[in-house]
A = this chain, B = another copy of it.
């Protein structure tokens, strides 16, 4: 007997935590045909995600994180079905979305700087520390320049 931890399958909660996709999202993806057939426990009807499905969800979750929508996920799955024959297209697809995500992360890092500086600004105001407030405002102006 095996526990879920070492088993050949995973529960929906485990897959949700791993992938960052919510449980409703995993059911939704299955319903619209992104996951193929997901095995079930015969008695309970609970989903049992096997290794291949989990790997597929890994890929979909990473694409989703890059802002890819359902339509292009289907395009990806069509390439996947063609195997090594579609290797150049797979390379292109992954590289393209990696580049987009990379640019997106850079933007987010700038926004993060902004949020941190705003926190510092209000902290300075809370402490009535005029000098610190001026420093935060100067750094904010520099960040905003790069928007």
Contacts and interface: CB of A to CB of B under 8 A. Distances in A.
B87 A122 contact: yes
Interface string A82-125: 00100110110011011001101101110110111011001101
A108 B58 contact: no
A59 B111 CA distance: 9
Interface of A: 18-20, 58-59, 61-63, 65-66, 84, 87-88, 90-91, 94-95, 97-98, 101-102, 104-105, 107-109, 111-112, 114-116, 118-119, 122-123, 125-126, 144, 147
Closest 10 CB pairs of A and B: A94-B119, A87-B126, A90-B122, A98-B115, A91-B122, A95-B119, A62-B111, A65-B111, A94-B118, A87-B125
Given A58-B144, A105-B109, 16 more contacts: A18-B147, A20-B147, A58-B147, A65-B108, A65-B111, A66-B111, A90-B125, A91-B119, A91-B126, A94-B115, A94-B119, A95-B116, A97-B115, A98-B112, A98-B116, A98-B119
